[in-house]
Structure 1
Amino acid sequence: MSNIEVYIVVEGQTEQTFVRDVLAPYMAVQGIYLIAIRIGIAGHKGGNVKFERAHKDIERLIQQRSDTYISTMFDYFRIDSNWPGQELINTKIKAGITLSGIDKAGILEVATLTKMTALLSEDSIAKRFIPYIEMHEFEALLFSDVTVLAEKINVPINQIQSVLANYNSPEEINSDPLKAPSKRLEKLMIGYKKVIMGKVISESIGITRIRQQCLHFDSWLQRLEKLTE
């Protein structure tokens, strides 16, 4: 099995910390080494994920070396309204078509790859670029284990269960940014710290459990795992 390096362009410090401290050690066992790089200018606080900014980072990483792979880790909530695939999603919704979180993410990821392939002359872009859009944001993954989450933020377990009651998966929380997983956590725990708690909770849950509960996240890791074949 050959070792694989994957650069992941992430939205902010929360995702960067998760990839570096939680996900990377898990994938390294399989010979897949992840390096998280925050989008755009160094030191920015995340958010404002415009395709133009992502395009520049992806192009730079693609052109640096020919033996690495590039992926992304952006929240659906934060990406620009002009992001490739957004128009198609809006058209389908206006036509009365119901789209799950996985449906929306799939449309965006296919459109993103298609757009990058058209923009770059690099022949191997279709093989080396593996876009991933989080549904609906990173904090959804923290709802993968209600017992662990309730313990870590010190609330009764039924409060976590009530959040999940109307959803088939943590990744379906929530199409309304005002009720996003992070907003719910901030409401449940006064002084919730995204970066620190994101690491602590996800480490305690474990990637295996998160994969079981979050199928879109799992499909992303499966794509990365296939790179060693």
Structure 2
Amino acid sequence: MSDYIEVVVIVEGKTEQIFIESVLAPYLANQMIFMRATQVSKPGQKGGDVRFERVRRDLEAHLKQRPDTYVTTFVDYYGLREWPGLDAVTPQARPADIAECLNKATAKLVSELFSAQQAERRFVPFVALHEFEALLFSEPAILARALGVAEPEVAAVVKGCGEPEAINNSPQTAPSKRLNNWSVTGKFAKTTQGISIAQQIGIARMREQCPLFHRWINHFETLVGGQA
């Protein structure tokens, strides 16, 4: 038994790494869950083209380093390419269905590849629906104020889709594209302004509005004190 756990998060890019380290990790540390992020992308490389083979190398490295750590992913569904279960996702699939399809397929493959490292127990897949920016729609008032747009306009997007994680992932209506359209420069600064907005919203509010994100965090919470 252990009263704390350590988690390595393999993330897509710099924004996700900063989010984990400056927003999520401090929140979880209060519950004795110590999380650190490692970026799968090479320095200077843009995100949005995440292939399993790239992540696989990182998974292997971290699963083999220490047997007492957990390893997870934080990658955007919007940018996935050549990923377990991706071909089985239908255009009409709901966010929960997409997540279940991808996470199950990923967990199965990783467990088979790294059975000697107890990947079935230690690996926790997570694909963000549809991308990190969706979390910023958890509180329309804060997002609208930061961007200088009318709150009802932001709220209408969330209401129309049902929840932040259901915001459409098309090239025109993905969360990141909507934020770009609202930005005065035409390019939303997610590594700076995005992180600032996330800090103002807070993890608790994101969990209330984003059930898949909540479920991912809750998995680690259930492990504290119950680790084999």
Which bin holds the TM-score, normalised by the shorter protein?
over 0.9
Contact 1:61 1:70 in 2 (8 A): yes
Please report how far the alpha carbon of residue 123 of structure 1 lies from its aligned counterpart in structure 2 after TM superposition. 4.7
The corresponding residue for 1:147 is 141
The corresponding residue for 1:188 is 182
The corresponding residue for 1:86 is 86
Please report how far the alpha carbon of residue 44 of structure 1 lies from its aligned counterpart in structure 2 after TM superposition. 2.7
The corresponding residue for 2:26 is 25
The corresponding residue for 2:195 is 199
The corresponding residue for 1:103 is 97
Residue 127 of structure 1 pairs with residue 121 of structure 2: yes
Deviations 1:30-56 (A, max 9, x none): 000111101143443322100001111
Please report how far the alpha carbon of residue 159 of structure 1 lies from its aligned counterpart in structure 2 after TM superposition. 1.6
Please report how far the alpha carbon of residue 209 of structure 1 lies from its aligned counterpart in structure 2 after TM superposition. 0.6
Contact 1:77 1:177 in 2 (8 A): no
SS across alignment from 1:41: coil
Deviations 1:90-137 (A, max 9, x none): 4xx5xxxx4211110111001001011111242511110000000000
Contact 2:67 2:117 in 1 (8 A): no
Distance between the aligned counterparts of 1:86 and 1:153, measured in 2?
A: 33
SS across alignment from 2:160: coil
Amino acid at match of 2:23: V
The corresponding residue for 2:69 is 68
Distance between the aligned counterparts of 2:42 and 2:145, measured in 1?
A: 36
Please report how far the alpha carbon of residue 188 of structure 1 lies from its aligned counterpart in structure 2 after TM superposition. 0.6
Amino acid at match of 1:144: S
How many residue pairs end up in the alignment? 222
How is 1:25-64 mapped onto 2 (pairs within 5 angstroms)?
Answer: 25-64=26-65
Amino acid at match of 2:216: W
Distance between the aligned counterparts of 1:37 and 1:155, measured in 2?
A: 34
TM-score, normalising length from structure 1?
0.93
Distance between the aligned counterparts of 2:64 and 2:117, measured in 1?
A: 11
Contact 2:74 2:128 in 1 (8 A): yes
Contact 2:13 2:41 in 1 (8 A): no
Amino acid at match of 1:176: S
Contact 1:11 1:46 in 2 (8 A): yes
* Residue segments in structure 2 that go unaligned for 5+ positions in a row: none
Amino acid at match of 2:59: I
* Residue segments in structure 1 that go unaligned for 5+ positions in a row: none
Q: Which moved more, 1:125-134 or 1:114-123?
A: 114-123
Out of 172, 196, 209, the position equivalent to 1:213 is 209
Amino acid at match of 2:20: V
The corresponding residue for 2:156 is 162
Amino acid at match of 2:156: S
